[in-house]
Amino acid sequence: MDTSFNELMDSKFQNLYDDEIQKNFNQNPYLEDFVHAMVNIIIKYMKNCHDRSQKVIEFKEPHELNELINFDLEEKPENLAALMGYCRQTLQYCAKTGHSRFYNQLYSGMDVVSICGEWATYEIAPVFLLMEDAVLKRMRKLIGFHDGDGVFAPGGSLSNMFAISLARYRKFPESKSKGLYSLPRMAVLTSNHSHYSFQKGVNFMGLGQDNVFRVNCDSEGRMSISDLENKIKGLLSQDIIPIMVNATCGTTVYGAFDSLEEIADLCQKYDIWFHIDASWGGVVLFSDRKRYLMKGVHQADSITWNAHKFMGCPFQCSAFLTREKGKLQECNGDPVSYLFQQDKLTYDVSYDTGNKTIQCGRRIDAMKIWLMWKGKGDEGFAKKLHHAYELTNYLIEKIQNREGFELVHQPTYVNVCFWYIPKAIRNLPDNEIKKTKLSKLAPQIKAGMTKKGSMMVNYQPVDDKVNFFRMILINYDTTFEDMDFTLDEIEMLGEDEVTCVAKPALGPKPI
Amino acid sequence: MDTSFNELMDSKFQNLYDDEIQKNFNQNPYLEDFVHAMVNIIIKYMKNCHDRSQKVIEFKEPHELNELINFDLEEKPENLAALMGYCRQTLQYCAKTGHSRFYNQLYSGMDVVSICGEWATYEIAPVFLLMEDAVLKRMRKLIGFHDGDGVFAPGGSLSNMFAISLARYRKFPESKSKGLYSLPRMAVLTSNHSHYSFQKGVNFMGLGQDNVFRVNCDSEGRMSISDLENKIKGLLSQDIIPIMVNATCGTTVYGAFDSLEEIADLCQKYDIWFHIDASWGGVVLFSDRKRYLMKGVHQADSITWNAHKFMGCPFQCSAFLTREKGKLQECNGDPVSYLFQQDKLTYDVSYDTGNKTIQCGRRIDAMKIWLMWKGKGDEGFAKKLHHAYELTNYLIEKIQNREGFELVHQPTYVNVCFWYIPKAIRNLPDNEIKKTKLSKLAPQIKAGMTKKGSMMVNYQPVDDKVNFFRMILINYDTTFEDMDFTLDEIEMLGEDEVTCVAKPALGPKPI
């Protein structure tokens, strides 16, 4: 950290308090300095994020953080220098999610334009509604909807719940006023590799978690069409009404794409709402080479597409799109005279979209994606996708040709799932003992890389497969060399773990 | 606008594209310039916000905006100068919600520290969880909960739904797995002056809008305790189970506070979850002089408190607090091995809070309020509240003593509701003709002030009272002179409307 700069700032701001900068706002000499000083702290962090000599994470235990930072809130104010200090510390102990070696979540990299777009987002104005409209319209065009509607939701889980809500309303419009009491049991069908938000959603929405029916997947994580039809038939025979089938485009772990055309046919046959959770995979629609993965997408009744995942917006930016205009308003709307004055004389009230959602005030999520899209064009997203595929293909090849590494499956998207099998267990027979050893290894390697701060990669078990690593390859800054580094590092940490059996685990509560 | 600066920026950035600033991030010479240039645009907007010589809103019809700004998204990228231009235009046509004469919503003013805190919020890190914990803990202390739990939700509507969800789960834990099908009808009770989110919530949550029972209010907008008890008894006699009573602290229109102690007694008597929607009024807990308005608050089972309203955080920052620890996790949690690894070796997993909510990824809403609280201390919020009360009392006195102005009721909080009655109708008998004329006047005055950009004040009808103005007085910059200005302006616009009958209304679709 630049000590001289810090000292300068500290000496300037250490006798200044919040009151000073809020007062006489437009002529206050400290206001601008304070904002720029804060922005400098953030820019420094952004740069560190993309500097490979910096740790991906400066890991501290919660109890250590508690000793480093005084989190307690008090009656008395603290000065501006102290606040700037807190910002520096906070960013220091954040995971650098923009780092070229952050492969942990379904996002990575910092899109500067989008970040600035988010900063410039102040409510309230029709200008944002026009931006929202432009983004949703362009998305619908990529999908192939001729008309339709949409809204931004606070995250993909809620977008998926919006779909359930529309599906329920279409089948049983009386549920809006009467609730579910006198209605038949309803079911939501989704694959056992799909996102857990359906499980959470049906609980919240009164449908009950037992009424999410999990359809089996093939070895690549795609929903089995025959099992889907069997489950639908089984439900109908028990007088349980299937209201929605969810297809996933880009599953969380494998990155699998369900077969949309076949699912669309079944939904049509049995008159079921067809939702697509393309939170993670929607971006393939930008690419002439890859959009075949979502063939049939235009047949969906609704789609979730998270711009905070692949596309690179800061969280939250989840679009919910639907084919039929007006249904969102009809399903969620409620006439509230004190909020949505229909006697407004200033503008066409049809631009008021608030009543389409279940929220009252909403964050403006549209400007950051709109501005970013302006700056990249469709082709910018396609380019980012193709870069991610290059990294993926490189990594797959390396894994296939390197001793001790094993792919979990052959990826179709940019999730690469693999095990590292240390020398000591490499030649053991494939039995429970080997599985148990392997299962414990990923958490240990992960703890090692976190402590070192060299990179971040997620791990998880799936079906009968024990803990494996899942690399998410979307950062525009990530290179082939980073891939080599990653495999070297995993091998090194893995061998280290196996040989140093006596080494104590990290953390206060190893399980 | 500073043309020379714009030109300088434009010439520098007009041949630069997004790709350039994202590439070689940490050594890119343009990155820092671009961010600072964008921040300068925002700072300029912030200053304009607090400059009375600037319009509160530069009003443009949506169709005019469509001509001014090219909203369409294309295949090709636009250059950075163009993006900066879009930001300037966007902010130009935003309502200046920070303006000293913006009285339209339940927020006003721009808290610079909180804005910078929001900018510095990057996921993901335990450091944010500790901040969230510190804020919720301090809030619970002010409430008087000895223990308890909480979480930030994407807005007050969702916080209120979290309350319904806990109430339902406590009464019928089997609803989580089985849904509502075989359960008795459930009811939520709330006053007819309370927020509409309960209506939206029960629809979304499968309880049905018919099962929100509206309790009558007295003339001051407070829930009638006798009507509440009668309604509870009536429900029970029909085998409808009242699962929750909501009390409002700070109603949207009148700013009324329900009588918490009496409601708590009834909830205890009939074993009903007691929720308080203190989204707008919670801030009185900071003031020794005003916290009597929420006497009995510690008896609540759960509380919604929006820091993006009075406290001044940028939207969204809604805290949901509950008395019992562990219930949120029990009610909303779902074991998801691939996301919430319980075999993590890096830190104590009890700090992972994501599973308490219905969301997956969450925006970090805690840092901005935490940093602001550090900078103000409890006493900073008390000071802001007392300033608001001074403005309120001044305005009330002026209205009472000025010809043509009439208070709708005597405020207890900082919402001031009143009519302006123009000379021409002032002496008409109180009949339907007068009511109709008066009802149409507020929309016309509002359109007039919006077109001029002189100020923004909301209006609405309530119960049998026709359209009246509601002033929200919380901006730290607003002065007594602004109050005088406001009344003068309303009088002038009102007289103007009445005399110029032939004047065409604004907007393409006057209703």
By Cβ distance, the residue of B18, B71, B111 closest to A130 is B71
The closest of A423, A385, A388, A420 to A406, measured between CA atoms, is: A420
From start to end of A93-240, where are the E strands? 102-103, 149-153, 186-191, 212-215
The per-residue pLDDT for B62 is: 86
pLDDT in the model for residue B214? 97
Question: Which of A345-359, B10-24, B191-205 has the weakest average pLDDT?
Answer: A345-359
Least confident of A243-247, A416-420, B108-112: B108-112
Q: How far is B54 from chain A (nearest CA, A)?
A: 11
- The pLDDT score that the predictor gives to residue A502 is 39
pLDDT of B492 higher than 90: yes
Q: Which tokens hold the place of B308?
A: 């993006």
Query: pLDDT confidence of A12, banded at 50, 70, 90?
Result: confident
Tokens of B152: 């930030």
**pLDDT, tens digit (0-9, with 9 covering 90-100), for B455-474:** 999 999 999 999 999 999 99
- Reported as type and span, the H/E element at residue A80 is helix A80-93
Query: In CATH, which of 3.90.1150.170, 3.40.50.720, 3.30.160.270, 3.30.1330.10 is domain A3-96?
Result: 3.90.1150.170
For chain B, what is the mean pLDDT? 90
Give the number of other Cβ atoms within 10 Å of residue A242's Cβ: 26
**Residue B383's pLDDT is what?**
95
Tens-place pLDDT, residues B211-269? 999 999 999 999 999 999 999 999 999 999 999 999 999 999 999 999 999 999 999 99
- Write down the pLDDT at residue A246: 98
If you average pLDDT over residues B72-80, what whole number do you get? 94
- pLDDT value for A500: 56
Question: The CATH number of B377-499 is which of 1.10.600.10, 3.10.20.30, 3.40.50.300, 3.90.1150.170?
Answer: 3.90.1150.170
Spatial separation of the C-alpha atoms in residues B109 and A137, rounded to whole Å: 33
Quick one: pLDDT at residue B29? 83
> What is the reported pLDDT for A150?
95
Q: Indicate if the pLDDT at residue B502 is higher than 50.
A: no
Report pLDDT digits (tens) over B16-35: 999 888 887 778 888 888 99
Q: What are the extents of the domains in chain A?
A: 3-96, 123-174+183-363, 377-499
pLDDT class of B335 with cuts at 50, 70, 90 = low
What token pair was written down for B89?
């235009």
- Residue in chain A closest to B318 (alpha carbons) equals A361
What does CATH list as the number for A123-174+183-363?
3.40.640.10
User: Which residues on adjacent β-strands are paired with residue A504?
Assistant: none
- Give residue for tokens 């016309």: B444
* Contact status of A476 with chain B (Cβ, < 8 Å): yes
Neighbours of A157 (CB within 10 A): 26
Half-sphere exposure for B224 (CA within 13 Å, toward CB): 13
Are A124 and B80 a contacting pair at CB < 8 A?
Answer: no
Give the C-alpha separation, B438 to B510, whole Å.
17
Mean pLDDT of the A249-256 span:
97
Whether the predicted pLDDT of B337 surpasses 60? no
Residues of A in contact with B16 (CB under 8 A): none
Mean per-residue pLDDT over chain A, rounded: 90
Choose among A214, A212, A160, A217: nearest CA to A187: A212
Is the CB of residue B337 less than 8 Å away from at least one CB of chain A? yes
Query: Class assignment of domain B123-363?
Result: alpha beta
Name which of A42, A76, A157 is nearest B120 (Cβ-Cβ): A42
User: Among residues B420, B423, B488, which one has the least CA distance to residue B454?
Assistant: B488
pLDDT of residue B499: 67
Contact A210 B86 (CB under 8 A): no
Are the CB atoms for A377 and A370 separated by under 8 Å? no
Q: Under an 8 A CB cutoff, do A201 and B446 touch?
A: no
* Residue A511 reports pLDDT greater than 50: no
Calpha distance A307→A302 (Å, rounded): 16
Least confident interval from A401-415, A429-443, B164-178, B327-341:
B327-341
pLDDT of B344 > 80? The answer is no
- When pLDDT is averaged across residues A119-123 and rounded to a whole number, the result is 76
Three-class secondary structure of residue B21 per DSSP: helix
Least confident of A325-329, B10-14, B96-100: B10-14
Chain B neighbours among A 74-113 (CB < 8 Å)? 74-78, 80, 82-83, 86-87, 89-91, 93-95, 97-98, 105, 109-113
For A160, nearest residue in chain B (alpha carbons): B359
Residues from chain A that touch B511, judged by Cβ atoms under 8 A, are 342-343, 345
Nearest chain B Cα distance for residue A418, angstroms:
15
Is residue A436 less than 8 Å (CB to CB) from chain B?
A: no
Closest residue in B to A17 (Cα) is: B375
Residue A509 has pLDDT above 50, yes or no: no
Residues 200-219 of B with CB under 8 A from A: 200-211
Yes or no, beta carbons of B69 and A123 under 8 Å apart: no
**In B, which residues are within 8 Å of A116 by CB distance?**
34-35, 38-39, 87
Burial A78-90 (b: 16+ CB within 10 A, else e): bbbbbbbbbbbeb
From chain A, the residues in CB contact with B95 under 8 A are 123-125
- Tell me if B339 and A196 make a contact (CB, 8 A cut-off): yes
**What does the DSSP assignment read for B118-164?**
HHT--S--HHHHHHHHHHHHHHHHHHT-SS-EEEEESSHHHHHHHHH
> Is A319 strand, coil or helix?
strand
Query: Which chain B residues contact residue A376 at CB under 8 A?
Result: 18, 77
Residue B503, pLDDT > 50, answer no
Looking at the predicted structure, is the pLDDT value of residue B352 above 70?
Answer: no
Find out whether A102 and A95 touch, Cβ atoms under 8 Å: yes
Residues 341-360 on B with a CB inside 8 Å of A are 341-349, 351, 358-360
A:492-511 residues touching chain B, CB 8 A cutoff: 505-511
Residue A442: is its pLDDT beyond 80? yes
Q: What angle do CA B230, B233, B239 make, to 5 degrees?
A: 145
Whether B3-91 shares its CATH topology with B377-499 is answered yes
pLDDT in tens, A171-209: 999 999 999 999 999 999 999 999 999 999 999 999 999
Nearest to A343 among B74, B113, B511 (CB): B511
Q: Which fold has domain B3-91?
A: Aspartate Aminotransferase, domain 1 (3.90.1150)
In angstroms, the separation between the Cα of residue B264 and the nearest Cα of chain A is 26
Helices (H) and strands (E) in chain B, counts: 17, 12
DSSP of B456-486: EEEEEEETTEEEEEEEE---TT--HHHHHHH
